[in-house]
Structure 1
């Protein structure tokens, strides 16, 4: 469970992370050969009626286990509507009724593993602005036009938060931890972001519409992961 001390430490880390894949990150990246990946479901097609059109997810990139799908709920004791994030497995679950859950593939990063415990989905935003913190701008001066002082980056293509963002709070305080879109398909399920949980835009739009403000969220520590049970 998240303590005040660990929460304070996380906030400092998350302020630097700001839910974006760090431009300086050199984490090894790998993909599954396209020949082993079946055709995507129709819900990963283009979404032309959003304020900013969402392109289709390319074929042959996202492994089937990371597709949005209904599965047996691994946590039958948790309430309906609760979100469970399993960073080690690269997955996010939305608990449903009758022993079922919606499962989404997610991209994570090192900061995701430094924060575990319970929080609350305080509010949601469609096409949010992104404001990298000063520490990130100092590391990458090309981000200066989008700094806090300059008002951040407009929503739309290229914004690291993507089509939706869900903001997590604990005890009334912003954890600086987000569930958001903008995940590049080739990095789904991998540890390549600087922090937060990144979904495909098609999936974060779907999740945004399935949940309500105020629902509980749990981020699992590595020993609690179901990664060895997911196929």
Structure 2
């Protein structure tokens, strides 16, 4: 029972920290950046809220959305595989290919791994910090569970889309979501959750149905040694 309570506390902390920006390097990335980004990273103007273009010269080319050879041939098509150490998320395709996305992860994200189900997804979701976070951050009281959470839109930590991960029928409190600032892509930008550029969050939202399998790979980072990858 003590272990169960501990794991629930860790999961709650993970969801709460989606809003944090405690940056740590995740993977060793090439220093080069892309000066001219693909058109799908331009401004999005047909959403309820504007999404700015990803600025050039900020994101490493490895972290841009792209089709690659499928590194997980043992996984069926439609599976989402998250590698927190490499800051990659792959969507397995059925032709030996996969779509790879760059992600931002977080310290608590390194402590949870395994198979999950994308139970449901939301466009422009509300963000509701758990009571434990509100106790630490009284300034978040207006967005508490009792007050109905934070309205969607610019400034909401979940961004334009959120995919909700469940394990054995229980909410893990981990999310795949948007609102990752380009300068933080590939870094540990929170204590939990899997963050995408809003343009990529919209893309995977359209591709992945409810019930899709999600695999979060274990991290090689050890407790007490994080940040020394």
Size of the alignment, in residue pairs?
Answer: 220
Matching residue of 2:9: 12
The alpha-carbon deviation at position 11 of structure 1 amounts to: 2.8
Q: 1:7 to 1:202 in 2, by over 3 A?
A: farther
1-structure distance, mates of 2:205, 2:144: 26
Matching residue of 2:121: 124
Matching residue of 2:190: 193
Q: 1:153 to 1:22 in 2, by over 3 A?
A: closer
**Equivalent residues of 1:146, 1:152 under 8 A apart:** yes
- Other structure's SS at 2:174 match: strand
Q: CA RMSD in A?
A: 2.5
**Equivalent residues of 1:34, 1:60 under 8 A apart:** no
Q: 1:145 to 1:29 in 2, by over 3 A?
A: farther
- Other structure's SS at 2:62 match: helix
The alpha-carbon deviation at position 13 of structure 1 amounts to: 1.2
2-structure distance, mates of 1:83, 1:8: 28
Q: Which runs of 4+ in 1 moved over 4 A?
A: 4-8, 32-36
Residue 166 of structure 2 is aligned to residue 161 of structure 1: no
Matching residue of 1:82: 79
- Aligned residue runs from structure 1 range 127-138, under 5 A: 127-138=124-135
1-structure distance, mates of 2:90, 2:123: 20
TM-score normalised over the length of structure 1: 0.87
TM-score normalised over the length of structure 2: 0.88
The alpha-carbon deviation at position 126 of structure 1 amounts to: 0.5
2-structure distance, mates of 1:47, 1:26: 27
**Equivalent residues of 1:131, 1:147 under 8 A apart:** yes
For structure 1, the 5+ residue unaligned runs are: 225-231
For structure 2, the 5+ residue unaligned runs are: 222-229
**Equivalent residues of 2:164, 2:173 under 8 A apart:** yes
2-structure distance, mates of 1:7, 1:85: 24
Matching residue of 1:57: 54
